[in-house]
Structure 1
């Protein structure tokens, strides 16, 4: 399959890329930042695009800058390394994209996620990324995709940040076996993700023993400032 994404590798230089699933290299500049070996692999929510996740990770790094170096020039501040992916299916007329059709069967949803997962893992099989800590980040549909990547590749990722993930159809899943540290967050007023699915996500992910869970009072199916701060704290540990 074909992957579409935006990449930034620690040097403020952004490159638009379009590659096939068997690609071993990208056009991103591989200049390393010895102070930050994290690589964020990011997936947006339904109807959005890859810029959604870039805004989120930039906000996390801004929070980090305010804590560690409040007087540092933005030009000298650490920059995140990331691959921010564009959904498999584009929405005609309305814009944005999605990873699997809304309302599709569990089997089709898992199959769609598996195809993306295998293509991304093939992309990551590069010397450029060998020594980097790999951290999944996903919102809504993208959060579910990130979860399925842990299921398919349980030892590959150091951490995962699952923001208001869909978890429809996983109610029969008993547990997750993976050492991946997981940050899971929902808004207390989220009506997009049914409460039962939220409970399923918490149960399944907690079974692995590496879950940090947050619920935000008054928040719907969005991201809030406190959530950004909590993500920063999670990544700092």
Structure 2
């Protein structure tokens, strides 16, 4: 395996088409790549926004019988009390913080960066935001849960006042809707600026209405300067 096991492939980057003044970083779900969400994120972008869709490293995933696939961290099962891959979650979080820090170094302040993700990527977005000291512009959490939830609220170092848009389909067979509801009520105890949106009949996917809501959120949080 060597070093390659933890290296990420190059992210998909959609550069701003006007003066770059804000960035969206969006994290895909298990088994997907940055390409899976790039066009959807590009559609809701604006000329001043750069979109970064990183691809998770390929690793064996316990949940899927040890098959190797892009995954931000190992998943043992999707039960409420499943053991979690704490070292993997924290290593993935460090990679996301590096992406944020690189944007900040390039001149985009943290409060002009929206971090988002779907499913496992949405969970990582939430975890990365709450363990990041600098305030982001907003967080988009789609069809997901908060990893290592027992660490909170103590682990929340920042972004407890940052606007969060959490979305979930009420027919999700993979990450049950109830997980979304439990996550929302847990987060609201220490980060109250959260809006939870439900999509009737939506499974573990997205829909036009949800994408329109995400677009509105992004445009509100990082408008053109």
TM-score of Structure 1 vs Structure 2, range by shorter chain: 0.7 to 0.9
Matches within 5 A, 1:170-181: 170=149, 173=152, 178-181=160-163
Task: Report if aligned partners of 1:41, 1:135 keep a CA contact under 8 Å in 2.
Answer: yes
Q: C-alpha displacement at 1:119, in angstroms?
A: 2.6
Are residues 56 and 118 of structure 1, via their aligned partners in 2, closer, same or farther at CA, if it must alter by over 3 Å? Answer: same
Q: C-alpha displacement at 1:172, in angstroms?
A: 7.6
Q: C-alpha displacement at 1:211, in angstroms?
A: 0.7
Matched, 1:59 2:43: yes
Match of 1:45 in 2: 29
Distance in 2 between the 1:200 and 1:42 partners?
23
More helix by share: 2
Matches within 5 A, 1:74-89: 78=47, 80-89=49-58
Say what the alpha-carbon RMSD is for the aligned residues.
2.8
Task: Report if aligned partners of 2:22, 2:48 keep a CA contact under 8 Å in 1.
Answer: no
Distance in 2 between the 1:157 and 1:181 partners?
9
* Unmatched tracts of structure 2, length 5 or more: 1-5, 62-66, 221-225
Match 2:179 to one of 192, 197, 204? 197
Matched, 1:8 2:14: yes
Matched, 1:99 2:78: no
Are residues 196 and 170 of structure 1, via their aligned partners in 2, closer, same or farther at CA, if it must alter by over 3 Å? Answer: farther
Distance in 2 between the 1:151 and 1:233 partners?
23
Are residues 120 and 49 of structure 1, via their aligned partners in 2, closer, same or farther at CA, if it must alter by over 3 Å? Answer: same
The TM-score, its normalising length taken from structure 2, stands at 0.75
Match of 1:138 in 2: 117
* Unmatched tracts of structure 1, length 5 or more: 12-32, 65-77
Distance in 1 between the 2:198 and 2:115 partners?
20
Aligned residue pairs total 198
Q: CA deviation digits over 1:3-34, x for unaligned, max 9? A: 331223314xxxxxxxxxxxxxxxxxxxxx34
Match of 2:193 in 1: 210
Distance in 2 between the 1:188 and 1:102 partners?
22
Distance in 2 between the 1:165 and 1:43 partners?
12
